[in-house]
C-alpha cells in the first residue's frame, strides 16, 4: 500500500474519550503536584499572612477559617482589619474574631489600612501572638489606588517583621472564569503572591481556571474553601482536584 493511502487514523489510532480524559488528567495532576508542594507551618515572629483578592471572593470568610485552623493547633491568632473601605467589612471580621476567639485590631472605616497593619503588628508582638492575619479591601484589581495601598501594607510588614509577610494569599472564587488569570497576573505582579486559596468549590464550579494560573504564574494552591462554615477549609489535593475536573 502506498504511504499516501494511509489515513491519520491508521497511523495514529485515535484515543477514545476515556483515554483522552486519562491523558489530560495525568498531565494536569503532574502540573499541580509539581507546583503545589508547600505548607504554611505558622512559624514566624509572628507568622504573618496577607489575604487579598477581589470583592466577594471569600477573603474575610477564609480568614475566619484560617484563624480556626491555627487556633486548633493551639496558636494564638490576631486578625488585622485592613479592609477599612466599608464599615461592614470591619464588623464582619469582628464576628469571625469572636467565633474563633481571636484578637482583632481595627480602626474606623476610611482609616489608612497601613496604620491598621502597623498597630496589628505592635499588638501581636506585645501579646505573644503566633499568627497574624491581615484582611484587605477588594474592589477591582484594576484599581491602581488599591494596588498601591496593598503594596504599602506589604512594605510595613516587611519592615516590622523578619521575613514577613510569610504568605500573601490570593483568594479566588472557583466560579471565576477567564478573568481569573488576568486578576492573578495583576496581583502577582504587584505583590509577588505566595499562594492561592480557591473558594466555593462546594458550588457547581470546578475551578478549572487555576490550572492556567498555576502553570503560567507558578503560584501553588494552599487551601480550598468548601463552604461557609469554619471547618470548610481543606488542604489542596492535586489528584482529587484533577479527578473532579473530569467527573
Ligand atoms: N459556598 C461558599 N461560599 C463561600 C465560601 N467562601 C466564602 N463564601 C461566601 O462568599 C461571600 C463573600 O465572602 P466574603 O468572605 O465576605 O468575601 P470578601 O469580600 O472577599 O471578604 C459570603 O457570602 C461568604 O459566605 C465557600 O468556600 N463556599
Ligand atoms: Mg471582606
DSSP conformational letter for 143: -
CB 149 less than 6 A from any atom of ligand 1: no
Can you spell out the DSSP letters for 200-244? -TTSS---THHHHHHHHH---EEEEE-SSSTT-EEE--HHHHHHH
C-alpha 223/C-alpha 51 separation (Å) is 12
| Burial track 107-131 (b if 16+ CB lie within 10 A, e otherwise) | beeebebbebbbebbebbeeeebbb
For 139, residues 6+ apart whose C-beta sits below 8 A from its C-beta are 54, 55, 85, 146
For a ligand 1 pocket test, name from 66, 90, 228, 236 the mutation site with the most ligand atoms within 8 angstroms of its C-beta. 228
Given a cut of 70, the residues of the chain with pLDDT beneath it are 1-13, 36-39, 140-142
For ion ligand 2, residues whose CB falls within 5 Å: 59-60, 89
Judge if the beta carbon of residue 200 lies within 6 A of ligand 1.
yes
Report the sign of the C-alpha dihedral through residues 56, 234, 198, 168, in that order: positive
| 61 CB within 6 A, ligand 1 | yes
Give the three cell numbers for residue 189.
505582579
C-beta 229 within 6 A of ligand 1: no
Of ligand 1's listed atoms, the one at least distance from the Cα of 61 is 15
User: What span, in angstroms and rounded, lies between the C-alpha atoms of 94 and 89?
Assistant: 9
* Burial (CB count <10 Å: 0-12, 13-18, 19+), residue 247: exposed
Backbone angles phi, psi at 12, to 5 degrees: -120, 85
Nearest to 50 by CA among 183, 182, 195: 195
C-alpha cell at 86: 466599608
pLDDT given for residue 142 in this prediction? 66
Would you say the CB of residue 225 lies under 6 angstroms from ligand 1? yes
pLDDT of residue 24: 85
The predicted structure's pLDDT at residue 231: 96
What is the residue with the minimal CA distance to atom 10 of ligand 1?
58
Dihedral angle at the C-alpha atoms of 139, 141, 142, 148, nearest 10 degrees?
90
Is 199's C-beta closer than 6 angstroms to any atom of ligand 1? yes
- Measured from the Cα of 135, ligand 1's closest atom is 21
| C-alpha dihedral, 129 to 56 to 231 to 38, nearest 10° | -70
**Residue of minimum CA distance from atom 12 in ligand 1:** 56
* Per-residue pLDDT tens digits for 54-98: 999 999 999 999 999 999 999 999 999 999 998 899 999 999 999
Is the CB of 91 within 6 Å of ligand 1? no
Amino acid at each position: 500500500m502506498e504511504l499516501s493511502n494511509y489515513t491519520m487514523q491508521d497511523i495514529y489510532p485515535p484515543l477514545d474519550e476515556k483515554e483522552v480524559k486519562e491523558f489530560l488528567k495525568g498531565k494536569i495532576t503532574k502540573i499541580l503536584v509539581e507546583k503545589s508542594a508547600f505548607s504554611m507551618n505558622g512559624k514566624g515572629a509572628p507568622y504573618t499572612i496577607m489575604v487579598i483578592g477581589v470583592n466577594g471572593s471569600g477573603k474575610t470568610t477564609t480568614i475566619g477559617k484560617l484563624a480556626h485552623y491555627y487556633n486548633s493547633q493551639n496558636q494564638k491568632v490576631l486578625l488585622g482589619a485592613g479592609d477599612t473601605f466599608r464599615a461592614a467589612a470591619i464588623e464582619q471580621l469582628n464576628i469571625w474574631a469572636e467565633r474563633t476567639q481571636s484578637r482583632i485590631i481595627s480602626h474606623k472605616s476610611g482609616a489608612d489600612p497601613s496604620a491598621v497593619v502597623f498597630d496589628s503588628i505592635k499588638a501581636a508582638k506585645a501579646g505573644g501572638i503566633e499568627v497574624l492575619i491581615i484582611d484587605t479591601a477588594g474592589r477591582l484589581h484594576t484599581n491602581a489606588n488599591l494596588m498601591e495601598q496593598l503594596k504599602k501594607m506589604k512594605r510595613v510588614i516587611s519592615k516590622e517583621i523578619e521575613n514577613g509577610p510569610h504568605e500573601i494569599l490570593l483568594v479566588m472564587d472557583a466560579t471565576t472564569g477567564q478573568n481569573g488569570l488576568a486578576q492573578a497576573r495583576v496581583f502577582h505582579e504587584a505583590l509577588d503572591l505566595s499562594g492561592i486559596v480557591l473558594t466555593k468549590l462546594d458550588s457547581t464550579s470546578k475551578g478549572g481556571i487555576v490550572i492556567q494560573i498555576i502553570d503560567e504564574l507558578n503560584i501553588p494552591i494552599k487551601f480550598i474553601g468548601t463552604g461557609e462554615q469554619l471547618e470548610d477549609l481543606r488542604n489542596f489535593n492535586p489528584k482529587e482536584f484533577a479527578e473532579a475536573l473530569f467527573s
